[in-house]
Structure formats: structure tokens, C-alpha cells
Chains A and B, each alone.
Chain A
Amino acid sequence: MKQIPPNRLCVYCGSNAGANAIFLEHAKQLGRTMADAGLGLVYGGGGGGLMGAVARSVKTANGHVTSVIPTALLGAQDMFDEVDERHVVSDYHGRKRRMVDLSDGFVALPGGPGTLEELSEQLAWAAGGFHAKPIFIVNSHGFWGRFLDLLQTMQREGFMGREITARYIVVNEPEQLVSLFLAGRRNAGAASD
């Protein structure tokens, strides 16, 4: 049994691989760099698409994977089985809450409406002061460009405060976010000493 890593990142991404090969490449790069840096993965437990690629890459690089799945998905076909820790929760709301509680930061790779929903929720919770964990947006091949435009529109129209812009970090490569996350943890540690 693998020891629980001191820091875990919750990753949201597509349950399929998408049309651009760079997405899969970034999913693998993220899993590998997280494992190398000793960061555990928290995710929804899927075995397909970008989700499965992240989880497999974490395991291949000898990292730690935690899945949080609702009872409705127990025994589903496309789940990833080689997890180190599995949490079974009663419903989708319980799943979201557990994933947030277990994680020290959030990452959005490219994905569909479900990914955007999770990302929006984390941004809304951060803006509402419900957590102070960093949120990373991996803008692979400019995928999230239109969404970043929407955030700017919200700000311009007075619907979003300036403080939230400090809470999400846009990177072009997954490797960047791992080092930024670790630097943030070091700073937080130094500040609390």
C-alpha cells in the first residue's frame, strides 16, 4: 500500500481524448510530472479518454491515484482499476465535495461541458471565499481561449472582482503548473512558520 502523498491535485478533463493529439500528450505529461513531483492525483475514476491517460501516466511513473466515484458508477465498464485509494460516495454532489476536500489544488485540462462545469464551480467557490486552493487552467493549443475571454467579459461588466484573477493560473504546458504549485506550497509554508 502506497503512502498517501502530502499534496494532491484534483484533475478535471475530457472523458474522451479530443481531436488534437496535443491534448493526450498533455494529459500524459501532467500525470508523469505530478508523479515525479510526489503529487497525488484525485479524480473521478474514469479509465477512458484524457482522464484515463492522466491516471495511467501517474501509475506508470509510480505515483498515487485516488478515485472518488458515486455508487451509481460502481461496476461501470470504463473505470480505471489500479487506484491506490478509492472513495465511494452516494451521489454526484457528494463526489464533488469529497474531491474538493481531498485536494490541495485543481487542474483543468481540455474537456467538455462536464469539465467546464467543474472548473466554473471551483472558480465560483474560490471567488466566494469557500477555499483558497489554486486553480490551474492548461490552455493546450489555446483550447480555453474563448472561456478566458468570458472571464474577461465578466470582469469588464463588473460581475467579477479583480481578486479572483489572482486565484487562477493559466499555463500552456502541464509541467509549468507542477512547479508553480510547489513554489506556492513553499511560500505558504514559509508564511506560516
Chain B
Amino acid sequence: MPEPKDHRLCVFCDTRSASDPRFPSSAVTLGLTMAEAGIGLVFAGDARGTMGTVAQAVKANGGWVTGVVLPPMPGTADEFAAIDERLVVADRQERKRLMFEISDGFVALPGGLDVLDALMEHLTWMQKGRHCKPVYLVNDGGYWDPLLDMFKEMRRQDFLPHNFDARFTKVERPAEAVAGLRQHLVRRGAAA
């Protein structure tokens, strides 16, 4: 039985499966790297799609999985069965808040509107000064290039806060996000 983790990474990714086979393979890599680094997964508890793939990979490699789940999900077929810690919340906002509180960092894999929504919410929370936890954007196969170009357009048109680029770290591979979080935790530990 794995121990509850001191350090947790919240993963934003999709409950659908991608058509590009690269994406499931980087979901597996992310789960494996997290388990090896002793970093627990925080997710919405979903067994489906890329999200379920990450959770399976964490468990298959002896890692820790925390699901922040909405009723009626507990016990339903969509719920990931091997959750180590299940936190039940009342609604989506409470879920976002709790996931934010218990996580030491965030990583967005390629995904759809829910992933974009979660990512953008974290990037704007920082604007309001409530957030100094690292956010990693895994730009697998250039998936997020249109979003990064949108940010550039915002900069050109004078809509982007000057410090915006410092709010997230773009990485090409998921293992770089895990390595980045470990370095962040070491620095934070040294500062404490």
C-alpha cells in the first residue's frame, strides 16, 4: 500500500482519447515519471481517455493517486478503480479549489475545452496574486502552438500583462514537467 504523498502534481488532461497515438504515449510517460519521482497524482478521478491513461500509469509503477470526485461518480463505471485517496466535493468550483490547494504544481497535457478552461483559470489566478505554484504546458507535437500564438497576438495588441510569460513553463516532453517540479520543490525546501 503506497503512502500518501508529500508532493502532488495536478494533471489537466482529457477524458476523451486522442486520435494522435503520441498523446496516450506521453500520458503513460507522465504517469511513469511521476511514480518514479515519488510525486502523487491529483485528478478528477476519471478512468476514461487520456486522464485514465495517466492514472493507470501512475498505479502500474507503484505511485499514489488522489481523486477529487463529484457525486454521483463514486463507485460508477467512469471512476478510476484504484484510487488511493478519494475526496468527494459538492460541485465543480469546489473541486477546482480543492485540487488547487492540495497540489504543488500543475501540468496541462494536450486536451479539449476542460483542459483549456483549467489552464486559463490557473494562469489568471496568478494575475490576481493568489498563485505561485508552477504550471507546465506540455506542448506535445506542437499541440498548444495555436494557444501560444494567441498569447503572442494578445501581446501585439497590448492585452497581455507584462509578466505573463513567467506564469507557465512550456515543455516538449512530460518528463521535463516532473523534473521542473522536483527542482521547484528543492528550491522551495531550501528557502523554507
Closest to B96 in A: A93
The stretch of A27-35, A56-64, A115-123, A179-187 in contact with B is: A115-123
Of residues 78 through 125 on chain A, the ones whose CB sits less than 8 Å from some CB of chain B are 92-93, 97, 110-117, 120-121, 123-124
**In which size bucket is the chain A interface?**
35 or more
- Contact A114–B143 (Cβ < 8 Å): no
Bound form: Cα–Cα A111–B124 in Å = 13
**Given the known A-B contacts A18-B158, A114-B127, A153-B143, are A124 and B114 also in contact in the complex, defined by CB atoms under 8 Å?**
yes
| Interface pair A127/B113, CB less than 8 Å apart | yes
CB of B191, distance to nearest CB on chain A (Å): 27
Main secondary structure of the interface of A (DSSP, over half): helix
Q: Which residue of B lies closest to A150 (CB)?
A: B146
Query: Is the CB–CB distance between A14 and B159 below 8 Å?
Result: yes
Report whether B127 and A113 are in contact in the complex, using a CB–CB cutoff of 8 Å. Answer: yes
A150-B14 contact in complex given A127-B113, A159-B111, C-beta closer than 8 Å: no
Bound CA–CA A19/B124 (angstroms) = 21
Answer whether A158 and B128 are a contact pair too, CB < 8 Å, given A113-B123, A147-B146.
no
Collect the chain A residues with CB atoms within 8 Å of residue B115's CB: 159
Interface size of B by Cβ–Cβ distance < 8 Å?
A: 40
Query: Which of B17, B113, B121, B127 interacts with A164 by CB under 8 Å?
Result: B113
Between A and B, 13 residue pairs with Cβ closer than 8 Å are A17-B158, A92-B128, A112-B161, A114-B124, A115-B159, A116-B154, A117-B121, A127-B112, A154-B116, A157-B23, A159-B16, A160-B113, A164-B113
Residues in A lying within 8 Å of B, measured CB to CB: 14, 16-20, 23, 92-93, 97, 110-117, 120-121, 123-124, 127-128, 143-147, 149-150, 153-154, 156-160, 164
| Chain B residues at the A interface, C-beta cutoff of 8 Å | 14, 16-20, 23, 93, 97, 110-117, 120-121, 123-124, 127-128, 143-144, 146-147, 149-154, 156-161, 164
